[in-house]
Structure 1
Amino acid sequence: MYEGIIQDLIDELGQLPGVGPKSAQRIAFHLLQSDPVDVRRLAEVLVEVKARVKFCTICFNVSEDDQCRICRDPRRDQTVLCVVEEYKDVVAIERTREFKGRYHVLGGAISPIDGVGPDQLRIRELMVRLADGAITEVILATDPNLEGEATATYLTRMLREFGLRITRLASGLPVGGDLEYADEVTLGRAFAGRRSAE
């Protein structure tokens, strides 16, 4: 192990998702060898992103404004709402260029093992959005894993009272995978072939 601030840097980098001890060490030494101007720019961007980025007041996607660019876009179909777990899923779906509606980001999935229940997600806010009757279809685009399926099943039961068309993404996505890692073709086909949620 290293001394003082170098070990502190490695420890902090190791807190990032997907960065293990070896990767943290490599990144730390890369930063030490980098030009000070580049390191300063990285530090400034990290501080600025925490100061400026917030969540959209409508869909809870990340945004620098009160409303994200998708919610501000009048060309988007306001009658179709795609419900996703995380904001990174919005990016994955947008890359397909198949979906022209709006989004709702739950902020996770139901996972009793992790202590995440419906009350920890933005389900109440979803119900408020659906109350005015403008939305006619809800696409449940949760991850095809145990937590995502549990969340979709729960939402399907909750949404039936609204008399909406409730659909799920079609097969083609690997079970146990995450939407953000699916390629554009697979995700695009899954979107085009979505089915009713039951």
Structure 2
Amino acid sequence: MSMPPAISRLVDALKCLPGVGSRTAERLAFHLLRAPDAEVTELAAAIEGLRASVTACSVCHTLTEQDPCGLCSDSSRDAARLLVVEQPRDVAAFEDAGWRGRYHVLLGHVNAMEGIEPGDLTLAHLVQRVAAGGIAEVIVATNPDYEGDATALHVQRALRDLDVSVTRIARGIASGSAIEYSNAAMLSDSLAGRADMDGVS
């Protein structure tokens, strides 16, 4: 027995979400059919408002509903230390770990297989921020995997002619894992044990 077109359309839409297969999409669709109207309406409004309200911060490129974001507007943060991460979700992870400096989000990582080049990232803006002065240390906190290592190398090379110390977070995080899945203690240890990148070529 085939499902009504409206349900099939919802199932197909839900399958586009990461980690959602056909069976999970069907369970979610039937849950929404049984859910109270207020719950479904709130979910629809939240999804619709997401694209309308959320934008990238013009300073650090994290996701925000105000520009500049609250992190960049906070004068109590250490403006001399800049933590470079791949994605906005990494900002949330380091906030939980207690980082009190500034951020720069690259919005991705270098991946030749997927055609993602350094120019596709916010690397040029990072260079502009550092060249403007006031930053003593750039801490590269890309993921400890092949793409993250390649991206870190591009960051180091882009900043090598500027008067700034470039360090990389320590390998307190398991190689091949993602920052977003690391707990606060692991991230805190990785920041404390960061290493200088001057010897990297």
Query: What TM-score comes out, normalization by structure 1 length?
Result: 0.96
> Structure 1, residues 154-180: CA drift from partner, whole Å, max 9, x if none?
111111111311111111201111100
**Separation in structure 1 between the aligned mates of residue 151 and residue 36 of structure 2, nearest angstrom:** 46
Q: Return the letter of the residue paired with 1:105.
A: V
> Structure 1, residues 133-159: CA drift from partner, whole Å, max 9, x if none?
211100000011111110001111111
Give the match for residue 3 of structure 2: 2
**Separation in structure 2 between the aligned mates of residue 154 and residue 20 of structure 1, nearest angstrom:** 36
Between the two proteins, what is the percent identity of the paired residues? Answer: 40
Q: Return the letter of the residue paired with 1:185.
A: A
Give the match for residue 55 of structure 1: 56
Give the match for residue 142 of structure 1: 142
Q: Return the letter of the residue paired with 2:123.
A: I
Query: What TM-score comes out, normalization by structure 2 length?
Result: 0.95
SS in 2 for 1:161: coil
RMSD value, Cα: 1.0
Give the match for residue 16 of structure 2: 15
Gaps of 5+ in 2: none
Gaps of 5+ in 1: none
SS in 2 for 1:189: helix
SS in 1 for 2:79: coil
Give the match for residue 109 of structure 2: 109
Deviation at 1:2, TM superposition (A): 2.6
Q: How does 1:141-180 map to 2 (within 5 A)?
A: 141-180=141-180
Give the match for residue 186 of structure 2: 186
Q: How does 1:67-146 map to 2 (within 5 A)?
A: 67-97=68-98, 99-146=99-146
Moved over 2 A (4+): none
